């Protein structure tokens, strides 16, 4: 079966198999992506990030239901901490989104970060493309919130929503430098808890301190996701941002930047695979390390030689 063709024909099983091939770096993954690429570039990609326990999954679930009511199809990629034992996503079953799994218009997939430093597996971009080629209107990329390194989500999204909760205390100071700079929209979840207004004030102050006059000032919306309060307002703000970046050319700019980053990722990944195959797996590296330890050579000469042989 031609997985790419079946996927383009609307076969959900083929979509699952394509993402599995992408995630596990099967040989056919590159061919699948080559076939899908001309059919991409239509979906709107929304990044959802924030610290652990902020209720990102609950909010994602409510947003997806709202978009479905508008008649739009939804893809959700939930990037989870990778299990050190199996390499799979620890929260792989996405229990909180179980209600959506019966909806044919929604496709949910968990992906492990697989040691990717930014908390976003570099395979996420390809999984987004597979969902895009499948015809999804909106694709959510929900990531594990780990603070500074979370800025990687910007590379995968058209609009980024940061979800925060009251009562984080000093934690917000720790995350502001990275995570607060990337938010296009801020959602204050669990807004019925003490400190919600204080948090709104703090974020506003931080946005003021930024000192850069921007065309778009990120709006802040209070929500209580588990009670479905504030969800339609959040969607309205997301749509406003989408229209704004479409009108001023930023959407094209962001997508161009994304293409550049993806190309560099593929290049780095290819170089890494080459080194693993030709130097690590065959034991050559151990011999080189031994020579370096014995001062017969040095790491710089060795790397230079490897680069030369690779570029041949």
Instruction: With a cut of 60, say whether residue 133 has pLDDT above it.
Output: yes
Write the CA distances from 216 to 79, 213, 241, 244, integer angstroms.
Answer: 28, 9, 8, 8
Task: Tell me, yes or no, whether 231 and 141 share the same domain.
Answer: yes
C-alpha 74: how far from chain center: 15
Mention every residue, 6+ apart, whose C-beta is less than 8 A from residue 302: 288, 291, 292
Mean pLDDT, the chain, integer: 84
Q: 11 is in which domain, residue-wise? A: 1-37
Query: What pLDDT sits at residue 50?
Result: 83
Q: Based on the domain organization, do 57 and 160 belong to the same domain?
A: yes
> Is the per-residue pLDDT at 171 higher than 60?
no
Question: Is pLDDT above 50 for 118?
Answer: no
122 falls within a domain: yes
* pLDDT tens digits along 182-200: 889 999 999 999 989 988 8
Are 231 and 296 in the same domain? no
Q: Which pLDDT value is given to residue 83?
A: 47
Of 216, 248, 280, which residue sits at a domain end? 248
Q: Are residues 153 and 226 in the same domain?
A: yes
Average the pLDDT over 78-107 and give the result. 62
- Give a yes or no: residue 256 inside a domain: no
Q: Is the pLDDT of residue 268 over 70?
A: yes
pLDDT band at 267 (very low <50, low <70, confident <90, very high): confident
| % of the chain beyond a pLDDT of 90 | 50
In this predicted model, what pLDDT tens digit does every residue of 210-256 receive, in sequence order?
665 578 899 999 999 999 999 999 999 999 999 999 999 999 999 99
Question: 99 vs 76, which has greater pLDDT?
Answer: 76
78 and 157 fall within a common domain: yes
Asked, for residue 158, whether it belongs to a domain, the answer is yes
Residues 118 and 216 in one domain: yes
Q: Which of 196, 222, 248 is the last residue of a domain?
A: 248
Within this chain, do residues 98 and 244 fall inside the same structural domain, yes or no? yes
What six digits make up the tokens of 48?
């959802």
pLDDT score of 219: 94
In CATH, what number is assigned to the domain containing residue 44?
3.40.50.300
Whether residue 164 sits in one domain with residue 17: no
The pTM of the full predicted model, rounded to 2 decimals, is 0.85
Task: Write the pLDDT tens digit of every residue in 30-75.
Answer: 999 999 999 999 999 999 988 878 888 889 999 999 999 999 999 9
**Strand runs labelled E in the chain:** 44-49, 74-80, 106-112, 138-143, 159-164, 185-188, 220-222
Residue 80 lies in a domain: yes
Environment class of 210 (CB within 10 Å of its CB; exposed 0-12, middle 13-18, buried 19+): middle
Residue 253 inside a domain? The answer is no
**How many domains does the chain fold into?**
3
Is residue 78 classed as helix, strand or coil in its secondary structure? Answer: strand
Tokens of 66: 């709202």
Instruction: Please indicate, yes or no, whether residues 32 and 44 belong to a single structural domain of this protein.
Output: no
Average of per-residue pLDDT across 142-158: 69
Q: Which residue has the higher pLDDT, 90 or 268?
A: 268
Same-domain status, 219 and 292: no
Mean pLDDT of 278-290: 91
Tell me what pLDDT residue 234 has: 97
Residues 225 and 143 placed together within one structural domain of the fold: yes
Residue 254 within a domain: no
Residues 264 and 284: their CA atoms lie apart, in Å, by 27
Say how far apart CA 79 and CA 91 lie, in whole Å. Answer: 9
Whether 257 is covered by a domain: the verdict is no
In angstroms, the CA 49 to CA 77 distance is: 12
The domain boundary, picked from 218, 248, 278, lies at 248
Residue 119 resides in a domain:
yes
Residue 170 reports pLDDT greater than 70: no
Is the same domain home to 271 and 239?
Answer: no
Convert the pLDDT of each residue in 206-217 to its tens digit. Answer: 888 766 557 889
pLDDT at 249: 94
């Amino acid at each position: 079966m031609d997985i790419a063709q079946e996927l383009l024909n609307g076969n959900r099983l083929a979509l699952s198999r394509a993402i599995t091939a992408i995630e596990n770096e099967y040989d056919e993954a590159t061919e699948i992506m080559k076939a899908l690429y001309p059919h991409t570039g239509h979906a709107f990609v929304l990044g959802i990030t924030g610290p652990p326990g902020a209720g990102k999954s609950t909010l994602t679930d409510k947003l997806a239901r709202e978009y479905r009511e508008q008649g739009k199809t939804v893809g959700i990629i939930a990037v989870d901490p990778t299990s050190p034992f199996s390499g799979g996503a620890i929260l792989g079953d996405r229990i909180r989104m179980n209600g959506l799994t019966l909806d044919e218009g929604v496709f949910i997939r968990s992906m492990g970060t697989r040691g990717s430093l930014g908390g976003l597996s570099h395979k996420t971009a390809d999984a987004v493309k597979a969902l895009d080629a499948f015809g999804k209107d909106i694709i959510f990329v929900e990531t594990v919130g780990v603070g500074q390194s979370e800025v990687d989500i910007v590379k995968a999204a058209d609009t980024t929503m940061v979800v925060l909760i009251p009562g984080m205390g000093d934690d917000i100071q720790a995350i502001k430098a990275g995570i607060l700079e990337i938010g296009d929209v801020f959602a204050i979840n669990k807004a019925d808890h003490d400190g919600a207004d204080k948090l709104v004030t703090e974020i506003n102050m931080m946005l003021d301190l930024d000192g850069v006059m921007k065309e778009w000032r990120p709006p802040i919306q209070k929500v209580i996701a588990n009670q479905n309060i504030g969800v339609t307002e959040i969607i309205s703000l997301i749509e406003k941002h989408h229209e704004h970046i479409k009108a001023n050319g930023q959407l094209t700019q962001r997508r161009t930047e994304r293409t550049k980053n993806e190309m560099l990722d593929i290049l780095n990944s290819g170089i890494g695979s080459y080194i693993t195959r030709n130097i690590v797996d065959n034991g050559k590296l151990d011999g080189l390390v031994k020579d370096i330890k014995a001062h017969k050579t040095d790491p710089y000469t060795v790397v230079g030689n490897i680069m030369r042989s690779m570029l041949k």
